Structures are given as C-alpha cells and as structure tokens.
Amino acid sequence: NQTCVVIGASHAGVNFAFALRKAGWQGNIKLFDADPTLPYHRPPLSKAYLTSADAIDKNLLKAADTYQKEQIELNLGVKVGSIERSAQVVQLQNGEQVAYDKLVIATGARPFIPPIEGIESAEQLFPLRTAEDVENIRQAFEQSEQKRVVIIGGGYIGLETAASLKKLGAQVTVLEREPRILARVTAPYMSDFFQELHAKNGVAVETNKNVVRIERANQQNFVQCDDGTDYPADIIIVGVGIRVNSEIAMEAGLEIDNGIKVNGQAQTSDEHIYAIGDCTYHFNPHYQRFIRLESVQNAVDQAKVAAAAICGKEVNYDTLPWFWSDQYDVKLQMVGLSQGYNEILIRKEAEEHKFSVWYFKDDELLAVDAVNNAKAYVVATKFIKSGEIINKTKLVDSNIEFKPANL
Ligand code: FAD
C-alpha cells in the first residue's frame, strides 16, 4: 500500500488530501502540521475572527469527522524537520521517521519580521498569520485600557486589521513606508480610495513612515520613525509581508527560486515530490511568466492539479489568479495580474463606492479591481480569459449596461 505524506495542513495541504482521495488514490494519506489547531480558513483572521470570539470553530476548512471518513490521517502539532530524498522518508521533530512514496510540500509562509531596533524584545507586538496570533491580539486588546493600536504596514492584512479593530473601538494608526498604501499591488487610484475610506472611518493612515525603532518607556511602547515622529502604542501589529517556508525543501536540495520551483503538474525537481500553495514558484501560462502567489485560489487550484497528476491524470496548472479583500462595507475583488500595465480606465457606477479599475497593456486587458461590483469582476474574468478586445469608450460609459455583448 502506497503512502502520500503531506507537509502542511492548511488551504493547500487539506484541499490536496481530499482531492487526492476523490481522484482515486487508494493508499495512505498522512497530513502533518506544526499548528495544533484543526485546520481553518485563514482569510477571516484579519476580518471576522478578530471581532468574534468563536469564529475559528465556525470556519474550519473541513469538519472534524470528515478526515477519518476519507481515511486521511491528520497529525496536528507535529513539525516535519527534514526530508531525506534518497531514503524517501521525512524526519519529524519528535524523532520519528515516516516513509513516503509521494511527498507534497504545502508549507506556505510565515510573517516577515523586519529588522527594526527593539522589535525582538517589544511587548504586545504581534504578527497575524495564525489562530494563535488572533487569540493573542484579542486578549491584549481586551486588557488594554486606551486601545491604541499601531499597525506597521499598509498592505491588505494591515488595512483589514485596521478596519476590524476600529469596529471594536480601537484608536488605530497605520504606518506605511511607501508614499502610498497598497503600492505593490494596485494603481494610485485604488490607494487613494482606501486611504480616504480609512480616514472617513477614523483610522489614521500615514505614508512615508519608515519605522526604525520600538522603545519601551513608562510601561508603554513607542513606535519611532526615521523622520523623528513617535507613536505611543498599547498594541503593535506587524504586517509587512511574508517569507516562504522553503527551508526544508532547500536543505533537501530541491530547486528553489523565489519559492519552491514546480512545473505545470506541481512537481518539484524531484519526481516523487510535489509542492503547492504559497510556497511555490510556478509558471502561469496566461501571463507567460513564473510567479509566486499568496492566495486561497492558488492554494486550492494547485492542490487539485497535484492530486490529479499524482493519480496519473493529464493536467496542467492554468488558472487566472483572483483575490479579495473586505474593509468596512467595501468588498474588493481582483482578477488577473496588473504588473506591466500602461493604461488604467475607471468605470464608475451610480452608487457610491461602486466602481472598477481596468488595467491594460495597450489593448490587452491584464487585470481588474472591482469595488462592490461583482458584475465587473465576472465580466472582467471573461475578457481576460478570452483575450477579446474591449471597446474602451463603451467600457467607461456607465450609461451602457454592463454586459460582455455591449463591450
Ligand atoms: P499556509 O496557509 O501558510 O499553511 C502552511 C501550513 O504549513 C501552516 O499551517 C504551517 O503550520 C505548516 N507548516 C509549515 N512548515 C511546516 C513543517 N515543517 N512541518 C509541519 N507543518 C508545517 N488569501 C485570499 O485569497 N484572500 C484573502 O482575503 C486573504 N486574506 C488573508 C488574511 C490573512 C490575515 C492571512 C494571514 C492570509 C490571507 N490570505 C488571503 C492568504 C491565504 O490565507 C494564503 O494564501 C493561504 O493560507 C495559503 O495556503 P497554504 O496552505 O499554501 O499555506
């Protein structure tokens, strides 16, 4: 009886295990995760979990009893220390060895903690990646009297966390090093929109703020920037990006390049080892380049591809990236990759806070950010996939009904 071992039981690993069973794998499936919590959805960590005490239990990836039903062995609180490729075994940190016929690496990523003076010893400072992080933040928040929260980093996680904690009555400041928030992922129009949205909701978003030191005095933290400004904080949250958990793959000699390099079947440079999710660097046929994505879509879709490939089906990973973010009453949906655009067009609808930003490279539609506008997201997906040329004049005319036939 063959054994498939999976390292990491989150969006990628868990979806893979169930997909593998569904694809017809008759052998053992052994999932390992260092996190002791039953696998849960991560996106709500910065959204619903922060504001509701019992949300983790309601947001499990799979119900507790389904693992056993599908004969998937789930080992929680168990870290895999290394991979020995020649013997086809993984070494657990508790000293045990587990043999594999196929191995799947779904180790994801961890928060990057920037080298800021005083950050290691700072109290009440938290990253946000796990259920435990959220629990720690919630506890610190409840115990804090003034509830002054400073968030380092104005990316999606930082901004969602700002919105969630504001709802709970915090006094929130977001410090962003770049001249605008979300600079890495969206157009200036979107950055301005979110900056204003936060201002309207009473969150101070400050740009060009390079945090250089965290100091503790009079039982308080002070977050200091290189322009001399200083922010007192009861709680500090760090959201400045991630580092891929690729060390065990690297030590095993697998090819690494901005993540674990895989082919269209999610296979690494070792034919018995696959990698899926946030930890992979993979080729995207639509955009004709290698990319690394941090999204549920990628984790789930790549998991399905790996499962099918292991079961001998002919597959090639070829999906369009999509992502979402919720802040206050705004639902942002993004499809495609905007890098390399040379024109943006904005289509505004009659309702407030409802619009879409269309990223073009000449006539080619690369990506769309749709704000409170599911229709724009659907129409955009269709056009990006098909490569059909859009009539730009009609696109921006909100008097023309929004449907593909009209564009
Ligand atoms: P991960 O979720 O990182 O899981 C990797 C797992 O591997 C972890 O559980 C870890 O404990 C385990 N592991 C690592 N090394 C070992 C080892 N050696 N031994 C055993 N176990 C190990 N995406 C969206 O698409 N939309 C969103 O709105 C969104 N919001 C987010 C909000 C927050 C706060 C966060 C943190 C992420 C958000 N994401 C969102 C990103 C999304 O959660 C990730 O893309 C997704 O979790 C990736 O899944 P993964 O399984 O590849 O990796």
Q: What is the pLDDT of residues 87-130, one digit of tens each?
A: 999 999 999 999 999 999 999 999 999 999 999 999 999 999 99
For residue 8 the two structure tokens come to 């990491």
Pocket of ligand 1, candidates 107, 133, 260: which has the most ligand atoms within 8 Å of its Cβ, to mutate?
Answer: 107
107 CB near ligand 1 (under 6 Å): yes
* CA-CA-CA-CA torsion sign (274, 276, 280, 282): positive
* Ligand 1 geometric centre to CA of 7 (Å): 12
**Atom 33 of ligand 1, nearest CA residue:** 43
Residue 287, pLDDT score: 97
> Ligand 1 centre from 133 Cα, in Å?
13
The answer to whether the complex's ipTM is over 0.95 is yes
**What is the C-alpha to C-alpha distance for residues 174 and 206, in angstroms, rounded to an integer?**
6
296 touches ligand 1 (CB under 6 Å): yes
Atom 32 in ligand 1: residue holding the nearest Cα: 43
Tens-digit pLDDT profile for residues 283-341: 999 999 999 999 999 999 999 999 999 999 999 999 999 999 999 999 999 999 999 99
45 CA: nearest ligand 1 atom: 34
DSSP 304: H
pLDDT digits (tens, 9 = 90+) for 345-368: 999 999 999 999 999 999 999 999
Residue 48: per-residue pLDDT: 86
Whether ligand 1 lies within 6 angstroms of the CB of 292 is answered as: no
Q: 3-class secondary structure for 308-368?
A: HHHCCCCCCCCCCCEEEEEECCEEEEEEECCCCCCEEEEEECCCCCCEEEEEEECCEEEEE
User: How many whole angstroms from 109 Cα to the centroid of ligand 1?
Assistant: 6
Any ligand 1 atom below 6 A from CB of 332: no
pTM score, whole prediction: 0.97
> Closest Cα to atom 24, ligand 1: which residue?
295
In the prediction, which pLDDT does 157 show? 97
What ligand 1 atom has the least distance to the C-alpha of 326? 28
- DSSP string of 123-154? SSEE--SSHHHHHHHHHHHHH-SS-EEEEE--
Tokens of 221: 């933290």
Residue 152 Cα to ligand 1 midpoint, Å, equals: 20
CA of 110 to the centre of ligand 1 (A): 8
Q: Is the CB of residue 76 below 6 angstroms from any atom belonging to ligand 1? A: no
> Considering only CA atoms, which residue is closest to atom 43 of ligand 1?
42
